[in-house]
Amino acid sequence: MNPSDVVRLAARSLATNRRRSLLSLLGVVIGVVAVTSLTAIGEGALRYVDDQFASLGSSLVVIAPGRNETTGGMPMGVGGMPNDLTLDDARHLARRIPSVRHAIPIAASSGRIRHGGRNRQVPIIGTTAEFEGLQRLELATGSFLPPGDPSRGSAVVVLGQTVARELFDQANPLGETVRIGGWRMRVIGVLAERGTQLGLQVDETVFSPVATVMQLANKSSLTRVMLDLRPRADQRRVIEQVKSILIERHDEEDFTCISQDAVMSSLSSILRILTLSVAGIAAISLAVAGIGIMNVMLVAVSERTDEVGLMKAVGASRRQILALFLVESALLSVAGGAVGLALGTALVAFGRALYPAVELVTPTWAIGAVLGLSLATGLVFGVLPAWRAARLDPVESLRGR
Amino acid sequence: MIRVEDVWRTYRMGDHELHALRAIDEEIADGEHVAIMGPSGSGKSTLLNILGCLDSPTRGRYFLDGDDVAQLSDAALAEIRLRRIGFIFQSFHLIARLSALENVALPLVFGGVPPAERRTRAAAALEAVGLADRATHRPSELSGGQKQRVAIARATIMGPRLLLADEPTGNLDSRSGAQVLDVLASLHREGRTLVVVTHDPAVARRADRVIVLRDGAIAKRVAGADVTDLVRLFDFGNGPA
């Protein structure tokens, strides 16, 4: 029997029961639409994260005090107090590692900022002038923190856009004095409006020289040291150098290095796993659809019992009958897969038009997997009905009518 | 050449056995025209199904052209049904969604004959039964006699030497029945072996000889010409009296 004849005969019998065929492939359509659109969302999230990191431009290694076995989490002082991460440490790192352009110290705190009758609880970031370039901050007015020796503080602040508006309304904050705790600080700049960037809500934040914030918050340790690396620097090698320098200075490894690459790859892998598991759940609906196909095929076999008997009487072998019914269910599921793919692609395109920020694309592997899976669904769930047809006793089958 | 040796066909019905055929011994020579008669439930169709390799004996042996059918695989039996046997049924068994031509061509599909050759051969077979102008009709658009002639065209398309007909005129009026019998007779004249199961003495009379079954066993063998006497001797219970 020619393969094309098998397909043609199977298609003919499906066409005879058009409504039932369409209903049974609806399940596959829904499953395939679910997989294509959900993986598109996952892929979109992945690309969004990539873009966010790419917007940082330079490559980055972050050092935090405290030993932490896992990367990416907040370091905890487990197993004794860690040594402070100091401005001197930052200075050493900048001087001794050639591929470090700047070692930018960060001291994070929070406090209430007041001006006139108004006040607001804000995060306060103590850092240096280089932070502006690192984060690509833009100023609405004034200037960012002044360059100079980071160990020397000065009572100046740069306000995030929201903070400035809350305290000053439309008035120009430049040169005005604000109070944080017991300190009087002069406003030297206001940042342009900026959304959330990698967890830092720039608009809500107040920036001040690192030494000032450490004094104000009574801190002896930096919260982070951010190493701004030269282009094409090998992040892993930088981390090794950081380790050897800091262990030499602290006598132990009481700090954690996180490279931008590592953060990005772990974020990516989390997103990838999420996408896979969501796609997996969607794929379960394909199995449910397969049961629908099996049901329809079982009905078809019992309706066409006499036909099977006749085919056997005129010389069809079991294998040929098996092939006919198997191809019939495979056609159902593949047609469902194709329709589902078309609908899913349309849905994804619609979503992309709605939210251009997230680049929704169904990944190629998902398209391949979903088509393969729907074919497999038809074959797997078609086996039982086809087997039953092939095993029919021709004498019994022909007696039916 | 058909040889049946001590063939039994037994069905288990709960805890007792039902013998549809008992100890059948029979030979049918090539080119013979044989009718099988007998009351309902006498085992006529069971015997025909065994001869057609659709069923197999519970006991005994069946040789078709010298091959012991019991020894053959499903694929080999399918091959025999495809190329050496043509089946004709009382209820035609045409596939409703296929045209007359496609129904006739069905065995060619299973035989792997390419489409172009299928069309010419099926058209020729339809012409041979006088239905050349009905090729594109669906079975529902054909009369009973036309349906049976389509079925005959299908049964002969692979050129089998053995034709098995199970009550071929059972669903037909006498005129179309006679037409169908004429077609069968001409196929027999071409040298094919023809075995017909029937109730109808008018059908049986055309055969060279008649085998009469009763309760699964051969009750009598007579010449076709003597069937009229036979009907008087036997009460078939449901045949024409």
DSSP class of B212:
E
- What's the CA gap between B223 and B205, in Å, rounded? 8
Bigger pLDDT: A158 or A136? A158
**For position A233, what pLDDT does the model report?**
82
Question: Is the alpha carbon torsion for A215, A221, A226, A230 positive or negative?
Answer: positive
Pick from B93, B98, B107: which is nearest to A315 by CB?
B107
Tokens of A193: 């409006």
Question: How far is A274 from chain B, CA to nearest CA, in Å?
Answer: 49
Q: DSSP letters along B124-163, please? A: HHHHHTT-GGGTT--GGGS-HHHHHHHHHHHHHTT--SEE
Residue type, A221: S
Q: Element (H or E) spanning A336, and its range?
A: helix A318-354
CA distances from A54 to A59, A194, A260, A274 (A): 9, 16, 10, 22
Bigger pLDDT: A19 or B232? A19
CA distances from A362 to A25, A28, A38, A355, A366 (A): 22, 17, 8, 15, 7
CB-based contact B83 A315, cutoff 8 Å: yes
Which residue, chain included where needed, has tokens 């009518």?
A: A401
User: Which of A382, A362, A187, A371 shows the shortest CA–CA distance to A278?
Assistant: A362
What would the pLDDT profile of A333-342 be if each residue is shown by its tens digit?
Answer: 999 999 999 9
Interface of A with B (CB under 8 A): 1-2, 5, 9, 12-13, 15-16, 306-307, 309-320, 394-395, 398, 401
Find the closest chain A residue to B105 by CA distance: A314
**For position A77, what pLDDT does the model report?**
47
**For position A72, what pLDDT does the model report?**
47
Tokens of A161: 């856009």
Question: How far is B129 from chain A, CA to nearest CA, in Å?
Answer: 18
Task: Establish, for the pair of chains A and B, how many residue pairs have beta carbons separated by less than 8 Å.
Answer: 74
**For position A199, what pLDDT does the model report?**
67
Given a cut of 50, is residue A55 above it in pLDDT? yes
Label residues B87-114 b or e (16+ Cβ within 10 Å = b): bbbbbbbbbebbbbbbbbbbbbbbbebe
Instruction: For chain A, give the percent of residues with pLDDT over 70.
Output: 94
What would the pLDDT profile of A211-233 be if each residue is shown by its tens digit?
Answer: 999 999 998 899 999 998 887 78
Question: How far is A46 from chain B, CA to nearest CA, in Å?
Answer: 52
Given a cut of 50, is residue B192 above it in pLDDT? yes
What would the pLDDT profile of A86-138 be if each residue is shown by its tens digit?
Answer: 999 999 999 999 999 999 999 999 999 999 889 999 999 999 999 998 888 89
CB-based contact A5 B93, cutoff 8 Å: no
CB-based contact A395 B55, cutoff 8 Å: yes
**For position B135, what pLDDT does the model report?**
95
What would the pLDDT profile of A130-145 be if each residue is shown by its tens digit?
Answer: 999 888 889 999 999 9
Question: Is the alpha carbon torsion for A88, A91, A93, A96 positive or negative?
Answer: negative
CB-based contact A401 B91, cutoff 8 Å: yes
Q: How far is CA B101 from the centre of its chain?
A: 21
